[in-house]
Structure 1
C-alpha cells in the first residue's frame, strides 16, 4: 500500500492537480491584466458545488479594503455570482494588519470544470478590483511575437534640440492583450507652463493597435494611461514616437506572487522617434528614489539624518545609472529626475517624517508630532537645491516636471523658525497694537511649549492682513529665495516657475 500513498502525495503537489474526482486546484494562475496591486489570486479550486478563490491581499497597514456582495466571475459570457467570504465579511471593511499582508477566500457559484479562463469582477464600478484573463489551463501565458521594428537597435539621439515650441506630438503602437472592458486609454501631457494635465482619448482597435496626437509645447514626456497604469514615452512637436505595451508582463512584474517568475519579455518596447532614449530610460537597473521604501527608516530620523540618508541613496542611484550601459543623454535625464525627487522630500522633511512616524507606530498625527525627533536644520541643509539644473531646458523631458516646478514655488529657507511669518507681522507698522500683542502671546506660548488658547482670535487676525501675508511670501518664498540659493537673477527654471504663478 505504501507506493499507492506515495503516488497520491506526489499528485497532490502538482499544479492543477485533481484533489478528488470532483475537484480541481490551480495554483498561482497567471492573468492578462489587473487593474490593482492590492488583491491577487493565489489559488483557484473548481468543484461541482463551488469555485473558491484564495485571495492574497497586499495593502497599507491599518488601511482597509472591501469585497462587495455583487462580485462575480465572468467566463464565456456568463456570470457566476459570489456566495460568501471565508475570513472576510462581504460589504464590510477589512482592515489590513501590521504586516500589510492578509489572505481570505471568496466562494462563487461553480464554474464548469473545463473552464479555460475567467475574469474576476468585484462589481462593475470603475475603481472596483478587477483581474482579467485568469488562465486555468496554462502555467504561463503564451507571449506574442514582437514586431521587428520594436526589437532592432536604434542609434543614440545626440542632436535633440530642446526648446519651447508648440505643435502636435503623435504616439502610436500596440497594447498587447487589451480588451475594451479593461477601461479607457488616454494620452496624458503635463504642461510645464500651466501645470495643467491635458489628456486626449485613445481609440484602440480590435488588434490592440492605436494612434493618437496631443498638443505639446516642447520635447516632453507623455504617459499612455490605462486606469492606474501609466507607460512613459518621450516625444516632441511634429514627431511620432511608438510603443508596444506588454500588459501580461506589466501584470506579472508588479505582482507580489508572480514577480519572481520568468518575464514575458519587456514591459514596454519602443520604436520611432527617440526609441533609443525611451528604451534606455526603461533599463531594468534604473529605480527611482522611492518614498514608500523610505517610510520605515525615516520615522526614527530627524531632518538632518534624513538628508544624510537620502544623499547616500541619491549618490548610489547616480552610480547605478553610470554603470547601466545607457546613453549619456538618458543618464542625464534620469539623474535630473532623482535630484527633483530628492528636493521634493527634503523641502518637506518635517511632514515626511511626521507621516512616516504616524504610519510606522500607528498613532494619530498629533501624537506623532510630539514624539518624532525634532532638530534644527544644519547650516548647509538647503544646499540640495544646488543639485537642480536650473538653467537647462533638458528638464522639460523629466517625467512629472510640472509638479516639481510647482513645488519649487514654495521653496523657502526659514524652516528653522516656524514663527518667522509671525515675527514679520509683529514688526510691521500696518499691524494694530492689539494684534501685535496677540502675536507676541502666541510666540511666547510656542517658545515655552505651552498650549495657545486663542486660536480663533489668531485666525481672525490673519484674515485682516492678506496683503501683508502675500508680501511676505513674495519676498521670502519661491523665486526670491531660489535666486539667493543659485546666485542668479535669470534662469530657465525661473521662467517656468513664473509661468505657473
Structure 2
C-alpha cells in the first residue's frame, strides 16, 4: 500500500506539473510595431506566475549595454508591470557585449491578465537613450493594419526642373504611420542646401496623431533628409512648393530587424506626395544599391580594397568603380530625372575620393595594419605623398563646372566643404580648364558662408564680388549675423575668466579652486563640435530649472582651446551661462594629455572639496548628469 500510495503521489505530481505547463503560452518572435534600440524580442512566455521576455541584443563588441531596474511593461489598458528579475544580465549593471556582438538574456515581469493583447516595454520616460519597444503583440500574428496612403506612381519620363536660385519657404508635412503615445515627439529635418556644411537641422514637434508640419527656409530647389525612427528619408524642397511624407514605422522596423527581416512587408517604408514625389519614390527604391562614403560598410570595404595599393593604383580603382556604377545606372528602368541625380552623385563621390587619394592610401595602411595612437600619427605625418600635377586631369571626365544637378544631391555641401578644406580649387581649375561656373560659385559662396557660421562678419566689398543670386543669399545671412552679434552684447549670465599665470601642472587645480565649496560641472568643448552644441541645447532646460542654484550650489565651467576660433567662441558663449576659459594651444595639449581627454565633449563632475567624482566622454544624457550633480549637491 505504501508503494502504491507513493506511485500514486508521483502520478499526481506529474499531472499537476503538466497542468502548470499547459497554462504556459509561448509566443515565438511576436510582431512588434517598433524598437528603436539594439534589443529585439525572440520569444515571450506567459504563465500564471510570470511574463518572461527572451531578449536578443545586437551591439558593438566590447561595448556595454545596461537594463535599468526601473524597466516596466505597459499593457493596452495603461497598467504597468515593473521588472522583477533578470537572467543572463544583472539589472542596473553594465553588460559588455561579447566579440560576436550578440547576446541573449531574460527579463522577468509579473503575470499579465489573460485579456491583455499587447504590451510596450520601456526603461523609463525620463532616461536619455532608454530602451523602448512598442506594440509587442501577444494574441495576433500580425500588427494592427495601417491605412496606407495612395502610392505615387513613378513618371518614367520625368526630367529635372531647372533650379531657381531664390530664397523662400518650402512647406513640409510629415505623418508617422503607426505612431503611439510615448514615442519620440521630435522629427529632424536636415536641410541640404549646397553651401552649408554641416546641413542646417530643423526640429519639428509631432502632434498626438503623429503629424507635423513647418515652413522650411530654402535658397533654391534642393534636397533634404527627414529623420525619424533611426532612419533618414530624402526628399526635395523648393520655395513655395509643398512636400509631404508618410513614414511607415511597421515596415521600417521589419527592414531594420535582425529577427523579422524575412516577414511579409507591411507596405513601403515611406510614401511621398507633392513636390517631385515621383522622383523621391524612385530614389527611395534604387539608392540603396549605391552606397556612399557616409555608409560604414562602404567605407570599411573601401579601406580594405585599397590595402597595398599606391596612388596610381588607387586612382585606377576609383575610375573602374565609377565606370561600373555608371553602367549600372544606365541599365535601370527609371526616369531620366532619377538617372540624372544618380549619375551626378556618382561623379561627385568619385571626384571627391580621387581628390583624397594620398590621404586614403595612408588611412588604408593604418587601418589594415591596426596602427594606433602615436604610431598611427607618426606614419600619417611622414607618409603622405605629393602626386604629380597631371594626376587629377581625369577629373574633367567626371565633373562639370556648370552641372546644376548638384542642387538635387544631398551630399553636395559635403564635397564642396572637402574641396575647400583641401584647398582644391586651383586643381579643379587646371583639371576643368575654367574658373567659371556653378561649381566655383558654390566653392566661393560656401567659404564665405562658413565664416558667417563661425560668427565672422563679411565686408560689403567681398559680398559684392559674388555672382547673383549668391550675393543676395550671403548678404541676408550676413545681416542676420550682425543683428545677432549686437544682441549678444546685451546678454548676461556668462563670464569670461582668465587662467592667470600658472604652470600647466597647476592649471586645472587652479581653475577648480576658484569655486571650492560648490559642485562643479566642467564641460570640455569646442565651437566646431556638433555633439557639443546639441548637448548644450539638451542641458539648457536643466540649467533653467536650477537657475536659483547657479552660483550658489553649482557652477558650470566651460573649457575650450584655441582650436575654437576666438570670434566664434566670443559669440557662442553668451548662450552658455557659466564660467568660460579659453586655453592656449600649449595649455590645451597638456590639459588633454594629463586628464586623458579622448574627444569632445568631455565632462567632469567635481565635489565641493575639488575632487573629481566622475568623468564622461561624450554626452551621457541629461538624466545621467542631473543624477550625479544632485547626489553631490545633497551632500552638505
TM-score tier after normalising by the smaller chain length? 0.7 to 0.9
TM-score by length of 1: 0.72
Between stretches 182-191 and 231-240, larger displacement belongs to 182-191
* 1:488 to 2:488 alignment: no
Question: 1:471-499, CA deviations, whole angstroms, 9 ceiling, x for partnerless residues?
Answer: xxxxxx23233323333212312222222
**CA spacing shift, 1:114–1:193, aligned 2, 3 Å:** same
Between stretches 173-182 and 232-241, larger displacement belongs to 173-182
Contact 1:156-1:277 at 8 Å conserved across structures: no
Q: Which has the higher contact order (CA 8 A, sep 6+)?
A: 1
Structure 1: tracts of 5 or more residues without a match: 1-17, 412-476
Contact 1:303-1:377 at 8 Å conserved across structures: no
Q: Corresponding residue for 1:328?
A: 336
Between stretches 374-383 and 176-185, larger displacement belongs to 374-383
Contact 1:41-1:56 at 8 Å conserved across structures: yes
Whole-Å separation in 1 of the counterparts to 2:85 and 2:315: 49
Whole-Å separation in 1 of the counterparts to 2:215 and 2:69: 41
Between stretches 199-208 and 177-186, larger displacement belongs to 199-208
Whole-Å separation in 2 of the counterparts to 1:85 and 1:309: 51
Aligned pair partner of 1:498 in 427, 432, 444: 444
Contact 1:295-1:356 at 8 Å conserved across structures: no
Whole-Å separation in 2 of the counterparts to 1:306 and 1:135: 51
Between stretches 321-330 and 337-346, larger displacement belongs to 337-346
Q: Corresponding residue for 1:51?
A: 51
Question: 1:434-483, CA deviations, whole angstroms, 9 ceiling, x for partnerless residues?
Answer: xxxxxxxxxxxxxxxxxxxxxxxxxxxxxxxxxxxxxxxxxxx2323332
Displacement of 1:169 after TM fit?
0.8
Q: 3-state DSSP class of the match of 2:343?
A: helix
Q: Corresponding residue for 1:261?
A: 263
Q: Corresponding residue for 1:319?
A: 327
**1:174-193 equivalences in 2 (<5 Å):** 174-183=175-184, 184-193=186-195
Q: 3-state DSSP class of the match of 1:44?
A: strand
Structure 2: tracts of 5 or more residues without a match: 1-18, 448-636
**CA spacing shift, 1:151–1:227, aligned 2, 3 Å:** closer
**1:200-211 equivalences in 2 (<5 Å):** 200-211=202-213
* 1:288 to 2:291 alignment: yes
Whole-Å separation in 2 of the counterparts to 1:145 and 1:189: 29
Contact 1:19-1:25 at 8 Å conserved across structures: no
Displacement of 1:309 after TM fit?
4.8
Q: 3-state DSSP class of the match of 1:232?
A: strand
**1:106-117 equivalences in 2 (<5 Å):** 106-117=107-118
Q: Corresponding residue for 2:589?
A: none
Q: Corresponding residue for 2:66?
A: 66
* 1:408 to 2:413 alignment: no
What RMSD, in angstroms, separates the aligned Cα atoms of the two structures? 3.4
**1:107-256 equivalences in 2 (<5 Å):** 107-124=108-125, 125-148=127-150, 150-152=151-153, 154=155, 156-158=157-159, 160-183=161-184, 184-195=186-197, 197-226=199-228, 228-256=230-258
**1:77-116 equivalences in 2 (<5 Å):** 77-116=78-117
The number of residues matched between the two structures is 417
Whole-Å separation in 2 of the counterparts to 1:394 and 1:95: 47
Whole-Å separation in 2 of the counterparts to 1:303 and 1:63: 35
Whole-Å separation in 2 of the counterparts to 1:182 and 1:404: 35
Aligned pair partner of 1:396 in 407, 410, 413: 407
Whole-Å separation in 2 of the counterparts to 1:19 and 1:308: 69
Displacement of 1:394 after TM fit?
1.2
**CA spacing shift, 1:50–1:318, aligned 2, 3 Å:** farther
Q: 3-state DSSP class of the match of 2:44?
A: strand
Displacement of 1:311 after TM fit?
4.5
Q: 3-state DSSP class of the match of 1:333?
A: helix
Contact 1:55-1:103 at 8 Å conserved across structures: yes
Q: Corresponding residue for 1:471?
A: none
Contact 2:169-2:239 at 8 Å conserved across structures: yes
